[in-house]
């Protein structure tokens, strides 16, 4: 494996940019795949969020694109947040290059995007909005040199396959295509067989270090779950992410954490792009200790230093579980995954254990915890309150309050 970025054969401009970013040595996926990318070959990279894949394909894009020659590279990604994050990384890699780099996604006006498309060299886009522009004649793909499909498995899970194929068919046949995915399932294999030419398959070990990752679960009654979560957040140190399956549950959990003085923020697909970006920036800066989110909203987000993942609900798709736990135990740091299993989570949890038999998820005896009365109701429509070892004395209108350090 190449131990330095110089060994990979990057040009001086890219080496300067990477040095400026503070990266001292390539990750496994970067070391294995960048040499093939720089040779112009089609590649399939199986790597998880946080593995360094954006820098890997970004180097190929920056190396290939020439200044002043129109649109030459297109990167497709599943969500608005990921599009923005990829754009930021590409801009950093384009240090001292006069390249125009544009992000294209829905939820914002088309007019500013149309103006940017007139002069852009690199576009990072969600499939749906990209197609909208193409149908209206706002974007010209005829001179495209590079096509990147980032988080391809997620784009297919979100139902973008038809849009992706339409975009690919609008691109020149003579091009370099890069496909990156956390998992290579039959749908991904079929897509690559149709549209990639003699691709080089590269698989990197999961970026999460299993030896640094502890996975546990508690069996808890649905009416006690919010109380147990509050208790566990009181005990933890560091930043935490709490995953829910629906927007409604995200709102419920966030409201009750705040009500009990936990410094929590939330993101889900129902929020505006501007609001979500602001929330993520605040969380990354450590202004809040807990981020509550859905899978779609969190997908691809670059969030550092997360020590705990709480699965308030177990996802229906076991691959979403893998993406969730990939948020912690990164780059040699330890991490903990806590699953709160109520009555209707066992089927989903069973799928996780069946699909990933190598996961060691230990059952832990549920600790004693204080009873709190929830504000609002969970999505199953019944009031939620904790059942702790002691009855509430009636003070504070039946609520037990926590400050942001977990003390009552």
Token duo for residue 266: 């939330």
Lookup result for tokens 């993520």 = 280
Closest CA to 267 of 285, 243, 286: 243
- Are 221 and 382 in contact by the 8 Å Cβ rule? The answer is no
SS3 115: helix
The pLDDT, as a whole number, for residue 214 is 94
Mark whether 67 and 10 lie in a shared domain.
yes
Of 92, 56, 9, 70, the residue nearest 178 (C-alpha): 56
Q: Look at residue 387 in the predicted model and tell me its pLDDT.
A: 36
Residue of 231, 241, 235, 225 lying closest to 289 (CA atoms): 241
Q: CA–CA separation, 78 vs 221, rounded Å?
A: 35
Please tell me the predicted confidence (pLDDT) of residue 299.
62
Question: Which of the listed residues 168, 203, 238 is the one where a domain comes to its end?
Answer: 203
Angle between helices 53-64 and 12-21 (to 10 degrees): 150
Q: Which domain holds residue 373?
A: 210-398
405 lies in a domain? no
Q: What is the pLDDT of residue 224?
A: 94
- Shared domain for 238 and 100, answered yes or no, is no
pTM for this entry: 0.60
Written as tens digits, the pLDDT of the chain (408 aa) is: 566 898 888 999 999 999 888 777 788 899 999 999 999 999 999 987 667 899 999 999 999 999 999 999 999 999 888 898 899 999 999 999 999 999 999 989 999 999 999 999 999 999 999 999 999 999 999 999 999 999 999 899 899 999 999 999 999 999 999 999 988 889 999 999 999 999 999 988 655 566 778 999 999 999 999 999 999 999 888 899 999 999 999 999 999 999 999 999 998 877 776 787 788 888 888 888 999 999 877 765 667 788 999 999 999 877 678 778 888 876 667 899 999 999 999 999 998 888 777 788 999 999 999 989 888 877 554 433 333 333 333 333 333 333 333 333
What does the pLDDT read at residue 326?
Answer: 80
Whether 20 and 117 share a structural domain:
yes
Choosing from 139, 169, 203, the residue where a domain stops is: 203
Other C-beta atoms within 10 Å of 100: how many? Answer: 18
- What pLDDT is recorded for position 1? 57
Last-in-domain residue among 203, 237, 254:
203
Whether 170 and 259 share a structural domain: no
Query: What is the CATH classification number for the domain harbouring 252?
Result: 3.40.50.300
406 lies in a domain? Answer: no
How many structural domains does the chain have? Answer: 2
């Amino acid at each position: 494996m190449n131990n330095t970025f110089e060994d990979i054969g990057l040009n001086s401009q890219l080496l300067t940019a990477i040095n400026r970013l503070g990266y001292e040595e390539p990750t496994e996926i970067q070391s294995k795949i960048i040499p093939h990318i720089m040779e112009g070959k089609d590649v399939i990279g199986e790597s998880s969020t946080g593995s360094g894949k954006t820098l890997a394909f970004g180097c190929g894009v920056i190396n290939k694109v020439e200044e002043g020659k129109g649109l030459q590279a297109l990167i497709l990604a599943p969500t608005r947040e990921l599009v923005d994050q990829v754009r930021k990384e590409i801009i950093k890699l384009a240090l001292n290059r006069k390249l125009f780099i544009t992000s294209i996604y829905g939820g914002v006006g088309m007019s500013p995007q149309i103006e940017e498309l007139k002069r852009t060299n690199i576009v990072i886009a969600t499939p749906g909005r990209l197609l909208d522009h193409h149908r209206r004649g706002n974007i010209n793909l005829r001179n495209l040199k590079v096509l990147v499909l980032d988080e391809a498995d997620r784009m297919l899970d979100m139902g973008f396959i038809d849009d992706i194929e339409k975009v690919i068919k609008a691109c020149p046949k003579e091009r370099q295509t890069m496909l990156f995915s956390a998992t290579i399932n039959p749908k991904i294999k079929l897509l690559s067989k149709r549209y990639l030419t003699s691709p080089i398959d590269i698989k990197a070990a999961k970026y999460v270090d299993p030896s640094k990752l502890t996975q546990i679960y508690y069996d808890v009654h649905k009416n006690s779950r919010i109380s147990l979560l509050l208790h566990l957040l009181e005990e933890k140190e560091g930043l935490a992410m709490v995953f829910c399956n629906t927007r409604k549950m995200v709102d419920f959990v966030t409201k009750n954490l705040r009500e009990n003085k936990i410094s929590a923020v939330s993101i889900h697909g129902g929020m505006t792009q501007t609001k979500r970006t602001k929330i993520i920036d605040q969380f990354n800066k450590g202004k809040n200790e807990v981020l509550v989110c859905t899978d779609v909203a969190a997908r691809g987000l670059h969030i550092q230093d997360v020590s705990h993942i709480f699965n308030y609900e177990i996802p229906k798709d076991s691959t979403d579980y893998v993406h969730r736990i990939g948020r912690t135990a990164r780059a040699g740091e330890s991490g903990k995954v806590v699953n709160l299993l109520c009555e209707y989570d066992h089927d989903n949890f069973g799928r996780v254990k069946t699909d990933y038999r190598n996961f060691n998820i230990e059952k832990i005896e549920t600790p004693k915890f204080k009873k709190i009365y929830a504000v609002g109701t969970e999505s199953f429509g019944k009031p939620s309150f904790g059942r702790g070892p002691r009855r509430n004395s009636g003070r504070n209108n039946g609520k037990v309050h926590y400050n942001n350090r977990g003390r009552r």
